[in-house]
Amino acid sequence: MNGASPGDTAAEDIRAFEAGAVDPAQFPHSEHVRLGYEILASSSFGEAITRFSRGLKMLAAKAGKPQVYNETTTVAFLALINERRARGTASTWPEFKADNPDLLDKRCLENWYGAEQLQSDLARRVFCLPTLPPGPPVPRAA
C-alpha cells in the first residue's frame, strides 16, 4: 500500500484500511491477504472478521462498487489464513507468503467452493459453507 517495507508499516496500513483511507486501485488481492494476515496477528478470528469485512465494505463503496463485497470469500480467506498461521512456522509476512503461495491466487477457494456458489447473491450477503464434494486440489500458483 505504500513504498515502505510491509513489516515496518503493518499497523499504519491497518489503520489506513480501517479508516477507509486506502486507494482501491492500489489494493490488489495480495494486499487483501497481507492485511488479513496482519489483522489476525493482533485479533481473534471473530474480531478479525469484523474488522476486515468493515474495511473491505468501505473500500468497495469508495470504489463505487459496493456490490463486489463478498462475505463468503472474505470469511473463507480469513479462515484459511488463520489456520495456516496456526499450523505453520512462519513468523513474518514474507515467510508466510513464501510458505503459502496458493493464497495469493484468487481462485484458491475453488478447492472448496464452486465458482457459481462464490458468485451467488447469497454468498455475497452471508457466509456460506462450501457445497463442493472433496476432489483433487486446484493447482497452486507458482
Q: Domain boundaries in the chain?
A: 6-125
Q: What are the tens digits of pLDDT across the range 55-92? A: 999 999 999 999 999 999 999 999 999 999 999 999 99
* CA angle, 81 then 78 then 141, to 5°: 55
Q: What are the tens digits of pLDDT across the range 13-34? A: 999 999 999 999 999 999 999 9
Q: Identify the band that residue 9 occupies on the pLDDT scale cut at 50, 70 and 90.
A: confident
Q: How far is 45 from 79, CA to CA, in rounded Å?
A: 8
Phi, psi of 66 (to 5 degrees): -60, -25
Tell me the chain's radius of gyration from C-alpha atoms.
15
Q: What are the tens digits of pLDDT across the range 103-139? A: 999 999 999 999 999 999 999 999 999 986 765 665 6
